[in-house]
Chains A and B, each alone.
Chain A
Amino acid sequence: MTLSELEKGLQARIIDLSNISPLVRRRLLDLGILEGSIIRLIHRLPLRGAFALEVNHQEFGLRYAEAKRIEVEVV
């Protein structure tokens, strides 16, 4: 499944980041987020708006379009 399908409050492991844009991948890496990281969905804004996510106690925001390209598995 993709990150965009994750339910609010649930945790998942990132499996594949290769489909997102290099710029976003690099920023995620800067935040220490890479394949294998455990990610949790905190909020989802309406109308395919941004996502608020959490990895390692750090909250960050991401666009729907990017979340759709991130492959995850629920843990």
Chain B
Amino acid sequence: MKSIALAGNPNTGKTSLFNMLTKSYEYVGNWTGVTVEKKIGKLKSGDAELIDLPGIYSLNPLSKDEGISINYLMNESPSTIINIVDGSLLERNLNLTIQLLEYGKPLLIGLNMVDIAKSRGIRIDQKKLARLLGVPVVPIIARTGSGCDEILEQLGQSASSSTFQIDYGEIIEEAISEIDDRLDADLPYHHRWLAIQFLEGNHVVKDKLSAWIPEKDLNEMYNRTEKKIKDTGESHTLPSYIYKVRNERIKSIIGEAVYVESKSATNWTEKIDRVLLNRFLGIPLFLAVMYLVFQFTFDWLGSPISDQLDGFLSGPASDGLTWLLTFCGASSFIKSVVLEGIISGVGGVLVFVPQIFILFFFISWLEDSGYMARIALLMDRLMSSVGLNGKAFIPMIIGFGCNVPGIMAARTIEHPKERLLTILLSPLMSCSARLTVYALFAAAFFNSHQSLIVLSLYVLSIVTALLLAKLFSSTFLKHEDQSAFVIELPPYRVPQWRILLRSTWEKGKGFVRKAGTFIFGGSVVIWLLSYAGPSGFDVEMNQSFLAIIGNAIALLFDPIGFGNWQAGASLLTGFLAKEVVVSTMNIIYMTPDDTALQGVLGQYFTSLQAYSFMAFTLLYVPCLATVAVIKKETMSKKWTWFSIVYALVIAYVISLVIYQGGRLLGFH
């Protein structure tokens, strides 16, 4: 099957178009570096596959996500490339377009954001642009899908490569033909493209070239050419010379195909920024936004809906099931596994679906509005003082939803040590699975201040992460070399309902699916462990295998306030997925629903112990899926183990401080 690649600058709408052209849905947002992984989908017309690549500015990669795009172009062979171009930032975008033209595959330009350009008084003559570049140009609005049909139509026609070429001047052209001569004629690359990229300092291309030309010769050729360029006095380095020549050509293209009318439209983005990035209001406003999100998630909207759902599951739903089981003549064993195992375990987690969806809705809203990049900007000062980068705040906020995509989002951080630090600390972010534990305990012990208590845990997670960042970055992850922080601040836009709802659903469906699959399986196993014991089946809960396992580690938890086997068993199973903590508790305390469980918990925990337990659940070991991602992203067993061990240690220390300190202060 043909494969078609989507390439372009970051945040130009590649993934939006991808979602429109295929039947799939991938994650979109309004900041640089939403897509950090290549995505594949089948074209709606059915005859080709479409590959969505992470955004790049040029073919010479700086960060890990950019490397993925370049590696794709180097190692696979797309039959056509769709280059999405941001019409409002044409000059910058065309720099990549020209490199893609030189790549030599048939190219199709999707001209996006023409509306923004128009509002700035910029009018682009598409026909002229197409003629000057020698490739078709299709105007699109990726977010609404307009122009998709034309794209599909163009893709259906037989495409030929453009004949577009830039004359880089005698010195460079000489070097290009020298490389050309030394390469075999049957290589699957355009020699000219390889040569230009190499001379531009592209290390990925250089590595590739060194398979055919000895590295010594390559270096010699590079230095010789660079010296010649220096001697002309035109530029200090080869890359900047090539950039300059290319840029002159772009300017002349724009001069011919773009008309600028002076038009002073209101710049809403700047107006909004005047408030949101205000010297004094910026950070307080961000905190206020987060507080409002939690108010909605818990007090105002989420908890009332969850209570309704809880009532339904424990009332009509389980009554109906009991009746059905009795009708089928089920034995007490079957009844027990269904009602005390599955209903308690799965139901106990499912009731939090409303809260989780509401939280995801707001995270999606943050992502789509353009505020995300501003948060990174606001936080950079704080983050850089602990050896991190403002950009690391984006993975952290995504981590509030789920740590796995959060850790992957760290790919956009250019500096390897800052990236590693972000990966190691992201698991401390309180993900939605942990929310179930807070929701349960906060409702049981801190009913009148639920969102405040939960917010305090989120703050605890961030403060802990920052303190540890400082510790790590000033000891074993020390780096002297300058880090980079250049962040694009995209124009704000009003999120569309369609995109918001879709994005919320895509994030939340994993949680629902997990409840139906893994939590189901886990509940059955946990129930079985609580039902069986050394003396046989249907034993007293305290004599069950689960109690024996829990007791084995309970002693360890005594100093931090919850030395009972129930807590031990819940935390142990929670390593697989943190929602399981709630499932296990429901099963252990044999309560049909969370309201009843909240009552029972009061007999086993004091408020202080409950808070200590929540803090411990927040920080102790990343879940299994997160551990796997850390291993993949760091490619190191050592760092993976480190992330588990340090989390356990810090969780214990903090819970110890909370519990013993709280007791000293007279809490209980």
Contact = CB atoms under 8 A, between A and B. Distances in A.
Whether A and B touch (Cβ < 8 Å) is answered with: yes
Interface of A: 21, 23-24, 26-32, 34, 42-50, 52, 54, 56-63, 66
The A contact surface, by secondary structure, is mixed
B88 interface: yes
Given A23-B415, A31-B92, A42-B273, A61 B487 contact: yes
B443 to A, nearest CB: 38
A45 B488 CA distance: 16
A50 B390 contact: yes
B489 interface: yes
A29 B489 contact: no
A23 B484 contact: yes
B485 A47 contact: no
Contacts of B486: 24, 27-28, 31, 60-62, 66
B58 interface: yes
A58 B491 CA distance: 8
Given A23-B415, A28-B486, 10 more contacts: A21-B484, A23-B483, A32-B91, A34-B243, A42-B277, A43-B273, A50-B377, A61-B485, A61-B488, A63-B380
Given A23-B415, A46-B279, A31 B488 contact: yes
A59 B269 contact: yes
Contacts of A59: 269-270, 273, 488-491
B381 A32 contact: no
Given A50-B381, A61-B489, A63-B384, A32 B484 contact: no
26 contacts: A23-B62, A23-B415, A24-B486, A26-B62, A30-B92, A31-B57, A31-B488, A43-B277, A45-B377, A45-B378, A50-B380, A50-B381, A56-B89, A57-B88, A57-B89, A57-B120, A58-B89, A58-B92, A59-B273, A60-B487, A61-B376, A61-B485, A62-B485, A63-B485, A66-B485, A66-B486
Contacts of B414: 23, 27
Contact of B279 (A27, A45, A61): A45
Given A43-B277, A61-B486, A30 B58 contact: yes
Interface of B: 57-58, 62, 88-89, 91-92, 95, 120, 243, 269-270, 273-274, 277-280, 282, 373, 376-378, 380-381, 384, 390, 414-415, 481-491
A44 B279 contact: yes
A56 to B, nearest CB: 7
Q: Which of B95, B384, B491 has the most CB of A within 10 A?
A: B384
A42 B270 contact: yes
A71 to B, nearest CB: 16
A61 B484 contact: no
Contacts of A31: 57, 92, 486, 488
A60 B390 contact: no
Nearest to B89: A58
B390 A45 contact: no
A70 B547 CA distance: 65
A31 B277 CA distance: 21
B484 A27 contact: yes
Contacts of A26: 62
Contacts of A34: 243
Nearest to A35: B240
A45 B415 CA distance: 23
